[in-house]
């Protein structure tokens, strides 16, 4: 199935093309037609399955259609997306901005822990789609910066996590402030009784969509971390790339500038590499990707945004030159290797400043990432001793034992997280 077969409007299709998406994920394939029909939805899916696009694309289309058909438009917020964490909120806002880039709708993300000033200024300018965490939303409602009386679409994201994090009362309060007539999309990875009760109280005759894991292929991904000083990272990368077993490597950096720098350093060492990031034209990106897929370029250096939607068969290695500050991004990154039962290897370089990020990643995936100490650029023992400890998450939070999954493109689904630690 292709996105073209989902009755989507041209401006959305072309935005998806620019994102590099061709095939809808299973949850998208199932949920998009239901939402476009105007029905309520109960979606059982975790982060990594493509669930954000599964609700963002049809909501954008319905909002846009209403605008085009000349229906009288109310001035307020028309779609509210409630999500438990700031990181998820930011990612959802980025998704709406990306898929809706040709539509002229306004989206805004608000969350707590930061000053509300910039958020209230943005709210005053008018917002069509609001992505919010519950606490800050209620704060701003109370201060009369936000009213929800015009909301036509309500998305509750990660309902079970709202419960885990103690936000369920806030969520219920928000629900009481919404108009009765609206379309509701309810997402949760698991359905504990309280969540199930909440779902049946707010959904009207919902269609149910569930994506269940097919296999836990991430067990085939070997993870390893190298503690290394920032300035030695390029040397370590060249050192590792001497190993011919690294047939193809997708190297991740946090910034575009960083990606270009890695490519330059690799060229100096005679390694064929290309960078792919937002400053490159669509053509240049496509060319780099084609060269990489054909094996002509051995190393592709990418930023997370540019790497979205990249799906390369037989990718043997993912190398995190810099660790991401959002732990979910690590799962997305490494999920690009080890496809369809093939073995994959994910190396991460961690300097002193990134230990915090590593700790967050280990917390998320519930396992410590094995450390490689035997390499020429290892940091001193003292630094190694300060590796943050791993707190194990309680098992059975999700029905697959607390695992996280990471979608990798096409209709394959990947899981990373509950694999046993393998020494690399």
Interface ranges with ligand AMP (CB under 6 A)? 21, 23-25, 28, 47-53, 308-309, 332, 407, 409
Non-local (6+) Cβ contacts of 186 within 8 A are 40, 41, 42, 43, 155, 156, 159, 199, 202, 203, 206
Non-local (6+) Cβ contacts of 121 within 8 A are none
Nearest CB to ligand AMP, comparing residues 23 and 196: 23
Other CB atoms closer than 10 Å to residue 25's CB: what's the count?
24
**Cβ 15 to ligand AMP shortest distance, Å:** 12
Nearest CB to ligand AMP, comparing residues 91 and 297: 91
Task: Name residue 186's beta-bridge partners.
Answer: 42, 156
**Cβ 381 to ligand AMP shortest distance, Å:** 37
**Cβ 392 to ligand AMP shortest distance, Å:** 24
- Directed axis angle between helix 168-176 and helix 193-202, to 10°? 10
Distance CA 301, CA 36 (A): 37
**Cβ 308 to ligand AMP shortest distance, Å:** 4
Helices (H), 69-147: 86-99, 117-124, 134-142
Nearest CB to ligand AMP, comparing residues 277 and 332: 332
Non-local (6+) Cβ contacts of 219 within 8 A are 419, 420
**Cβ 252 to ligand AMP shortest distance, Å:** 13
The residue whose Cβ lies closest to ligand AMP is: 52
Q: In degrees, to the nearest 5, what angle opens at C-alpha 147 toward C-alphas 69 and 155?
A: 65
Nearest CB to ligand AMP, comparing residues 338 and 368: 338
Nearest CB to ligand AMP, comparing residues 134 and 324: 324
Specify the long-range contacts of residues 5-12, CB closer than 8 Å, at least 24 apart.
Answer: 6/32, 6/33, 6/36, 7/33, 7/36, 8/32, 8/57, 8/61, 9/61, 9/64, 9/65, 11/64, 11/102, 11/103, 12/57, 12/60, 12/61, 12/64, 12/99, 12/100, 12/102, 12/103
Nearest CB to ligand AMP, comparing residues 47 and 366: 47
**Cβ 228 to ligand AMP shortest distance, Å:** 27
Nearest CB to ligand AMP, comparing residues 51 and 234: 51
Nearest CB to ligand AMP, comparing residues 301 and 307: 307
**Cβ 45 to ligand AMP shortest distance, Å:** 7
**Cβ 21 to ligand AMP shortest distance, Å:** 4
């Amino acid at each position: 199935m292709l996105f073209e077969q989902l009755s989507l409007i041209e401006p959305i299709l072309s935005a998806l093309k620019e994102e590099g998406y061709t095939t809808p994920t299973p949850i998208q394939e199932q949920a998009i037609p239901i939402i476009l029909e105007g029905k309520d939805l109960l979606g059982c899916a975790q982060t990594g399955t493509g669930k954000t696009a599964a609700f963002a694309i049809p909501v954008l289309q319905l909002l846009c259609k209403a605008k085009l058909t000349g229906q009288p438009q109310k001035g307020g917020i028309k779609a509210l997306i409630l999500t438990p964490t700031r990181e998820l909120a930011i990612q959802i806002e980025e998704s709406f901005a990306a898929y809706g880039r040709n539509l002229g709708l306004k989206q805004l993300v608000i969350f707590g822990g930061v000053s509300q000033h910039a958020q209230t200024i943005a709210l005053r300018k008018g917002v069509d789609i609001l992505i919010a965490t519950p606490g800050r939303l209620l704060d701003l409602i109370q201060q009369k910066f936000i009213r929800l009386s015009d909301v036509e679409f309500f998305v509750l994201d990660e309902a079970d996590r709202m419960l885990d994090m103690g936000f369920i009362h806030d969520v219920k309060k928000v629900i009481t402030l919404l108009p009765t007539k609206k379309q509701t999309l309810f997402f949760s990875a698991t359905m504990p009784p309280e969540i199930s009760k909440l779902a049946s109280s707010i959904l009207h005759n919902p269609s149910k969509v569930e994506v269940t894991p097919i296999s836990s292929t991430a067990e085939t991904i070997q993870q390893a971390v190298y503690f290394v000083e920032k300035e030695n990272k390029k040397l370590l990368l060249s050192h590792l790339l001497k190993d011919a077993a690294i047939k193809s490597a997708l190297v991740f950096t946090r910034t575009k500038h960083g990606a270009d720098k890695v490519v330059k350093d690799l060229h100096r060492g005679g390694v064929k590499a290309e960078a792919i990031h937002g400053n490159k034209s669509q053509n240049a990106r496509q060319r780099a990707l084609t060269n990489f897929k054909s094996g002509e370029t051995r190393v592709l250096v990418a930023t997370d945004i540019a790497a979205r939607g990249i799906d390369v068969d037989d990718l043997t290695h993912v190398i995190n030159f810099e660790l991401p500050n959002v732990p979910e991004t690590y799962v997305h990154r490494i999920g690009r290797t080890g496809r369809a039962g093939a073995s994959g290897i994910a190396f991460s370089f961690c300097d002193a400043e990134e230990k915090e990020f590593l700790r967050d990643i280990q917390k998320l995936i519930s396992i410590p990432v094995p450390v490689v100490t035997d390499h020429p650029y290892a940091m001193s023992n003292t630094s190694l001793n300060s590796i943050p400890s791993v707190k194990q998450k309680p098992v059975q939070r999700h029905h697959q034992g607390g695992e996280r999954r990471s979608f990798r493109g096409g209709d394959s689904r990947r899981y990373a997280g509950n694999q046993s630690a393998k020494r690399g």
